Chain A
Amino acid sequence: MRNAAAAACGLVLLCGVAAGCGTGQREAAAEAAAEDFLGALDRGDAAAACASLSPETAEELTASEGEACEEALGAQGLTGGPVGEVAVWGDRAQVRTDADVLFLAELDDGWKVVAAGCAPQGEKPYRCEVGG
């Protein structure tokens, strides 16, 4: 009985610790993906920026603007800049820059931008120029 209680206690703690920690490496990977996207915007390299978008976001952008991703993204007037605060939870991340908020998701081929040009709306979800 004592062993069972100890095992139960250990398992609960492990669950909690596993859930709360271990995000350091993933934070770095999400940050790198955001830097790729922002760097491409800084260089005016729309093709590279589009490659950093998730397939669904790129498709949505193409469909809503009625033109190729590269042209459609260029028309959004997004700005790059250095990465600020990064928050990673599960397979999702939020990255802040001086002028923008990005949302990313970890897909099979790594972290991708699912929304960019996002502005807060109080309690409601962010309104995003791309994605969202």
Chain B
Amino acid sequence: MRRFLRDNGLSLVFGLLCLGALVGQAFAGQADFNNRQLADAGRQVTLLEYVASSDFAVDVAENWQSEYLQFFLYVFATVWLVQRGSPESKLVDKVGHESDEDQKLGRYATERSPKWARVGGWRTAVFSKSLGLVMGALFFLSWLAQSISGRSAYNAGQLAQFQDPVSWLGYVGSADFWNRTLQNWQSEFLAMGSIVVLSVYLRQRGSPESKPVGAPHDATQESG
């Protein structure tokens, strides 16, 4: 058990942090929603009603889509784009998909390589892009969920203000949808750009996100 916790500490801690933050968001969001209900002469909702509402769903989904977009783009972009000196980048002369030998594919696969990396054909082709594809799929699903739940929350607000509800396409072209979307995207791009650049010159001893403390600034793809 102890060994399991040690070996999976990173995923367990972040999973728990995510759940804790979601619970906190639910309480804070319910209080905020009920404040707005007072202004709009609506009824107060329970925590359970709020968690099942489109208001909660859109607030969750708009953040999830941007996180998955961040990793989706980063996984694909780092195949072709490099940053000299950043541990977030591969070596500058490794731009592209790299050789089968580098990627342990085909006759270079080892006995411990995953089966889909050994078999060749479409399975290896799919497996070779599976991380980016899954991140991309999660991004599009989260963004779709944002558009559906966002339209529902937006239309409730429209009716409370004695205005007509909008269609899904109308909502996807609305200022509300793009304001929610872009304010999340810009923060993700800023965060990724910051870690790429700052990790060239700054160090965090013991972190794989950093180069070793004594590594030169122009050393790329080292971690410590």
A residues engaging B (CB < 8 A)? 1, 4-5, 8-9, 12-13, 15-20, 54, 56, 87, 89-94, 103, 105-108, 114-115, 118, 120, 125-126, 128, 132
Asked if B156 is at the interface (CB within 8 A of a chain A CB), the reply is yes
A105, B160: Cβ atoms closer than 8 Å:
yes
Question: Shortest distance in angstroms between B181's beta carbon and chain A's nearest beta carbon?
Answer: 15
B43, A108: Cβ atoms closer than 8 Å:
yes
Kindly supply a per-residue 1/0 record for chain B positions 113-139, scoring 1 wherever the CB is within 8 Å of any chain A CB and 0 otherwise.
000000000000000000000100110
B residues engaging A (CB < 8 A)? 11, 15, 41-43, 45, 52-58, 60-61, 64, 134, 137-138, 141-142, 144-146, 148-149, 151-153, 155-156, 158-165
Residues of A within 8 A of B52 (CB): 18
A-B contacts counted at CB < 8 A amount to: 105
Who on chain B is nearest to A17 by CB? B148
Question: Shortest distance in angstroms between A85's beta carbon and chain B's nearest beta carbon?
Answer: 11
Q: Is the interface of A mostly helix, strand, loop or mixed?
A: mixed
A126, B162: Cβ atoms closer than 8 Å:
yes
Cβ-neighbour of A92 out of B56, B134, B148, B160 (below 8 A):
B160
B162, A19: Cβ atoms closer than 8 Å:
no
Residues of B within 8 A of A128 (CB): 162
B148, A16: Cβ atoms closer than 8 Å:
yes
Task: Give the complex CA separation of A13 and B52 in angstroms.
Answer: 13
Cβ-neighbour of B159 out of A1, A12, A94 (below 8 A):
A94
Task: Give the complex CA separation of A126 and B15 in angstroms.
Answer: 46
Question: Shortest distance in angstroms between A30's beta carbon and chain B's nearest beta carbon?
Answer: 10
Cβ-neighbour of B149 out of A15, A56, A93 (below 8 A):
A15
Given A19-B54, A128-B162, also A90-B156 (CB < 8 A): yes
Residues of B within 8 A of A107 (CB): 42-43
Task: Give the complex CA separation of A61 and B21 in angstroms.
Answer: 44
Question: Shortest distance in angstroms between A19's beta carbon and chain B's nearest beta carbon?
Answer: 3
